[in-house]
Amino acid sequence: MSTQLSFTSRLYQSLWSEQPTWTTEPVSVWARLFALRGLVAVWRERKYYREELKRLAEDGPQRIDDVGLTPAAVEAELQKPFWKA
C-alpha cells in the first residue's frame, strides 16, 4: 500500500513539476496506470466531499457549525478545483 501511495505521489508531482520524478527507477506501464487510477479516485473523493459540503452549507449554517467549520472556511474549500488539496 505504501508503495502505491509513494508512486501515486511521485506521479502527481511529476505532472506538475518541471522535472519528472519517476526517471530514477524503471516502472511498468501497468504500475503507472494503477497509480493514475488511484489519483483519479482521490479527485472523485474530493469532488464528492465538496458537493456534500455545499449541500450542508445550503441546508443551513447551523449544520456547518456542527461540523466545526466557519462559513469562510467552507467558502474557501468550495472555491478549490477538484485537483487541489
Q: What is the pLDDT along the chain (85 residues), one digit of tens a residue?
A: 445 456 556 656 665 555 555 555 677 888 889 999 999 999 999 999 999 999 999 988 888 888 889 999 999 999 999 989 8
Grid cell of 30 as nine digits: 501497468
pLDDT at 81: 93
The residue segments making up the domain with residue 60 are: 2-79
Instruction: Determine the Cα–Cα distance for residues 2 and 14; give it in Å rounded to an integer.
Output: 18
pLDDT at 2: 47
Domains in the chain, number: 1
Instruction: Determine the Cα–Cα distance for residues 84 and 33; give it in Å rounded to an integer.
Output: 21
- Does 68 reside within a domain? yes
- Does 84 reside within a domain? no
φ, ψ at 82 (rounded to 5°): -60, -25
- Does 85 reside within a domain? no
